[in-house]
Amino acid sequence: MHALRLASMLLLASLTASALPALAQGKPPKPASPIYGVVLPDGYRQWEMVGVATEDAPLDELRAVVGNPIAMKAYRLGQLPFPDGAMLVKLAWKRQRSTEFPAATVPGAPTTVQVMVKDSKRYADSGGWGYGRFIDGKPVDAAQHQTCFACHNALVKARDDVFTKLAP
């Protein structure tokens, strides 16, 4: 009985200690993706643009990919594989016609934010990348995250599992 009580106290202390940095800043811990534990990076909307793309039906999306300074330096140098610490974030919206200029397609309702984090040791089993897919700031389920590496690795393994090329 004493050992069970001690184990419970140690578990509680460990959980409390792991949450202290976020609590000390007055913030709850960020939601993390299943499998990889990836979170939405702070300030990613201020990162530099890598490129844009459109996705046909059924997704019918407009997408923009941004990269942190480590990723952008690697892109400019043509460095593959990407170095540890590189992060890419893809923002996606439903495509819609501009009401002011009907020939233009503009972002509509947001759909997902997807994150790739390079850490060759932590994510050795997935080509060195951790993945996160978020809808309304919340990670999607594990089943969706299980498809990330398989798709990237099957289609763009030669580019370190990264689809988006640096726009000219």
Residues 35-53: tens digit of each pLDDT: 999 999 999 999 999 999 9
pTM, rounded to two decimals: 0.83
Number of domains in the chain: 2
Q: Establish if 166 belongs to a structural domain.
A: no
Considering the domain architecture, whether residues 141 and 151 belong to the same structural domain is answered as yes
- Decide if 168 is inside a domain: no
Q: Is 97 within the bounds of a domain?
A: yes
Query: Domain check: are 12 and 74 in the same one?
Result: no
Measure the CA–CA gap between 90 and 168, rounded to whole angstroms.
18
50 assigned to some structural domain: yes
Percent of the chain with pLDDT over 90: 83
Asked whether residue 45 falls in the same domain as residue 117, the answer is: yes
- Asked whether the predicted pLDDT for residue 11 surpasses 50, the reply is no
DSSP sequence for 91-149: EEEEEEE-SS-TT-EEEEEEEEEEEEEE-TTTTGGGTTEEEEEEETTEE--HHHHHHHH
Does 126 lie in the same domain as 75? yes
Taking only the tens place, the pLDDT of each residue in 40-96 is 999 999 999 999 999 999 999 999 999 999 999 999 999 999 999 999 999 999 999
Same domain, 105 and 153: yes
Domain that holds residue 86: 31-159
Residue 164 lies in a domain: no
CB contact set of 165 (below 8 Å; sequence gap of 6+)? 51, 159
